[in-house]
Amino acid sequence: MFYIWLAIVILLTIVEFLTTNLTTIWFVLSAILALLLSLISNNFLLQFIVFMVFGIILLITTRPIILNFLIENQDKTKIDKIFGFPKFIKEEIRKKEVMRKK
């Protein structure tokens, strides 16, 4: 069972690198835990239950915290200032008129 859990860890790690949604990373951690458990016990049902329970617990408890942390630490760009603010036009714009920069 060790090699099956190792393959699952590698596969989920690749999926996480491809998606970057912070969803499968928690199941990578729980698969590592199941991998370590496979060294102690050959009971696949126990390993699978540990994998699912810890994966779901980690996903539910830590993902919102990490996402909040990542959103707060993003660098703001000037484009952020453009969206969401009202725009005012100072003079009428006519068709086929060349606009001049002021």
Count of the separate structural domains present in the chain: 1
- Which of 8, 90, 102 is closest to 51 using CA atoms? 8
Is residue 18 assigned to a domain? yes
Is residue 93 assigned to a domain? no
Give me the pLDDT at residue 7, please.
Answer: 96
Is residue 64 assigned to a domain? yes
CA 98 to chain centre: 46
Domain of residue 7 covers 2-82
SS3 state at 73: coil
| 8-32 pLDDT per residue, tens | 999 999 998 998 777 888 899 999 9
**89: pLDDT strictly greater than 70:** no
Mean per-residue pLDDT, 82-98: 63
**1: pLDDT strictly greater than 70:** yes
pTM of the model: 0.64
